[in-house]
């Protein structure tokens, strides 16, 4: 979930209390989560994605709570003003979430708990794939400018860390953005696995999820 300007806490509290903050300007393209009515009932909400942790100070928890509440109406406000939006829901487009699939690579599996923000619950590749932007009702499909995958790098210390969080998730999210009807996870997993020889030739590192049959496996 995008965290907005920390200095805007008064406006955030006003909206959390029910007050409007219609300050979007036509021509902007806010990158926001789907409003409550457009979320898959089975998908976790941004706040439920966050694990409770004593490591967060009370001030930080209050800041996050205010901004989570504020973001829930951003898309609706933008849609009312005719603004085109870029969709980036936390549950399906944030790549800094820990891996929910085990890795076939022993070294990756050993590092799995250190990849991604620890306050998020682990997410599987299938969960990333299980999203259809076209099913959203707000905004209208004509107002959807695209889909954005976001990677925050607090835990991505090295380039390899970043690649392990990006691939193969980035391809899975792209597929969700341009998905075909009747596309299944089994079909997608097969197509993802077929990319392994190409990624190897390019010298890329990727997370070898055990839910995918990788074409370069010996």
The mean pLDDT of 68-72, rounded to a whole number, is 78
The mean pLDDT of 54-78, rounded to a whole number, is 80
Is the pTM here over 0.85, yes or no?
Answer: no
* Residue 17 binned pLDDT confidence (cut-offs 50, 70, 90): very low
Which pLDDT score, from 0 to 100, does residue 51 have? 52
Q: What is the largest CA-CA distance in the chain?
A: 59
The mean pLDDT of 174-191, rounded to a whole number, is 85
- In whole numbers, what is the pLDDT of the chain averaged over residues? 76
* Residue 59 binned pLDDT confidence (cut-offs 50, 70, 90): confident
% of residues, the chain, pLDDT over 70: 71
Closest CA relative to residue 138, chosen from 82, 79, 178, 66: 79
Whether the predicted pLDDT of 207 surpasses 70: yes
């Amino acid at each position: 979930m995008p965290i907005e300007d920390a200095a805007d806490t008064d406006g955030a509290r006003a909206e959390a209390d029910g007050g409007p903050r219609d300050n979007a300007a036509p021509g902007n393209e806010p990158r926001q989560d789907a409003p409550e009515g457009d979320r898959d009932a089975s998908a976790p909400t941004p706040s439920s994605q966050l694990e409770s942790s004593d490591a967060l100070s009370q001030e930080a928890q209050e800041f996050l709570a205010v901004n989570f509440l504020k973001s829930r109406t951003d898309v609706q406000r933008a849609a009312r003003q005719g603004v085109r939006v870029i969709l980036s829901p936390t549950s399906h487009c944030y790549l800094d979430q820990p891996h929910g699939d085990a890795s076939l690579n022993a070294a990756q599996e050993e590092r799995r708990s250190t990849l991604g923000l620890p306050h998020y619950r682990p997410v599987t590749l299938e969960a990333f794939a299980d999203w259809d932007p076209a099913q959203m009702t707000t905004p209208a499909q004509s107002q959807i400018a695209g889909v954005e995958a976001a990677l925050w790098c607090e835990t991505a210390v090295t380039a390899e860390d970043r690649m392990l969080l990006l691939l193969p998730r980035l391809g899975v999210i792209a597929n969700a953005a341009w998905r075909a009807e009747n596309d299944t996870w089994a079909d997608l997993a097969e197509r993802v696995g077929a990319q392994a020889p190409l990624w190897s030739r390019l010298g890329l590192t990727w997370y070898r999820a055990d839910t995918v049959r990788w074409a370069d496996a010996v």
